[in-house]
Amino acid sequence: MPEVRPKKHLGQHFLNDKRIANRIVDSLTAANAEKIVEIGPGMGVLTFELFERFKEKLVAVEVDGESVEYLNKNIPELNIIEGDFLEINLLKEIGNHFSIIGNLPYNISSQIFFKILEHREHVPEVVAMVQREVAQRIAEKPGSRTYGILSVLLQAYYNIEYLFTVSEGCFTPPPKVKSAVVRLTRNGVTNLGCDYKLFERVVKAAFNQRRKTLRNAIKARFNGIEISDTYAGRRAEQLSVEQFVDLTNEITQLTH
């Protein structure tokens, strides 16, 4: 394996601990996935291990030209898509069934998760290293202050496991925050039991005014409708996925 050379001019934090890299790759079951997509391989500390295990399946998506050049030189057989994961047409470029792994760019990790949700019928598994607070949030259960929009939307379709914490010293240069690895496994739900687009609107409306009761948060977003006492006095972080589905169906009836 070539020495990993971090590109300091990009201001990014590159994993430099091969033991952690192996733990991340070990966390990916890749059960029946036709492809394995690595987001943002950078200088390849995960990529070399992934390539050894999943040579025929691996697709790397990298936006930085210098990283692409480095990977092409050191892993010439690697299938690389040069482009922004958020912008590329995944089904056209990769296929219909692919697991995802990566050390996600922390400033766009939420956007990446939203794109994964859009492709939930095609993505059976995700193993991602993200900022620890993000990992805690998406794995959190109802009742916590950190439980939020991504918690509900992701947990509707994925079982989420907080796997392990990664210290600042495992990166070059060290970030100011701790990181964590999470695993998302598709839970088999294909029909949520409500209109998904409305469900998403309801969840966002509830959490965007999370200090308000649901009566006031929903009234403000949905033209003054009055929801039932079942949820009216509660706040967003108190509701489970199933209860948000129930609330969405109630709003469907009230708005039709």
What pLDDT, in 10s, does the model give residues 92-113? 999 999 999 999 988 899 999 9
Mention every residue, 6+ apart, whose C-beta is less than 8 A from residue 182.
126, 127, 128, 130, 135, 138, 139, 160, 161, 162, 163
Instruction: Show binding-site residues for S-adenosyl-L-methionine.
Output: 13, 15, 40, 62, 84, 103
Cite the annotated binding site by residue number: 13, 15, 40, 62, 84, 103
* Domain spanning 196-254: CATH 3.40.50.620: no
The answer to whether residue 7 scores a pLDDT higher than 70 is no
Mean pLDDT of the chain: 92
Q: Is 164 exposed, middle or buried (0-12, 13-18, 19+ CB in 10 A)?
A: middle
Write down the domain spans for the chain.
Answer: 8-186, 196-254
> 161-169: which pairs have CB atoms within 8 A and are 24 or more residues apart?
161/185, 162/135, 162/136, 163/27, 163/127, 164/23, 165/132, 166/15, 166/17, 166/20, 166/129
Q: Which CATH superfamily is domain 8-186 in?
A: Vaccinia Virus protein VP39 (3.40.50.150)
Q: Note the pLDDT tens digit of each residue in 118-155.
A: 999 999 999 999 999 999 999 999 999 999 999 999 99
Quote the crossing angle between the two packed helices 241-254 and 214-221, to the nearest 10°.
50
Residue 176 pLDDT class (50, 70, 90 cuts): confident
Confidence of residue 9 (pLDDT cuts 50, 70, 90): very low
Structure tokens at 186: 């598709």
